[in-house]
């Protein structure tokens, strides 16, 4: 049980970090905003892509770490 919880938490943290980096990179490269592009990128990374990736990574880790039924 503790190993499963640790694996899920690690996946959530890694997913959040990866989602944040990808979201930041995507917004800075694709946004036509010139006034506050860095703020837009940071907010999108912190509140949209980071949490979405964290939920996906945690869900995948939870499904993969289930005990096999006999």
pLDDT averaged over the chain? 93
Phi, then psi, of 51 in degrees rounded to 5: -65, -35
Looking at per-residue confidence, does 42 or 69 come out higher? Answer: 42
pLDDT in tens, 1-33: 789 999 999 999 999 999 999 999 999 999 998
At 70, is the pLDDT very low, low, confident or very high (cuts 50, 70, 90)?
very low
**H or E segment at 25?**
helix 2-30
* Alpha carbons 38 and 28: distance in angstroms, whole number: 7
Q: State mean pLDDT over 41-60.
A: 97
CA distance readout (Å), 3 to 7, 9, 32: 6, 10, 45
């Amino acid at each position: 049980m503790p190993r499963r919880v640790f694996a899920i938490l690690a996946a959530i943290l890694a997913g959040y970090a990866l989602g944040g980096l990808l979201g930041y990179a995507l917004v800075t490269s694709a946004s036509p905003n010139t006034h506050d592009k860095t703020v837009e990128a940071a907010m999108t990374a912190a509140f949209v892509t980071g949490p979405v990736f964290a939920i996906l990574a945690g869900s995948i880790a939870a499904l993969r770490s289930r005990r096999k039924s006999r």
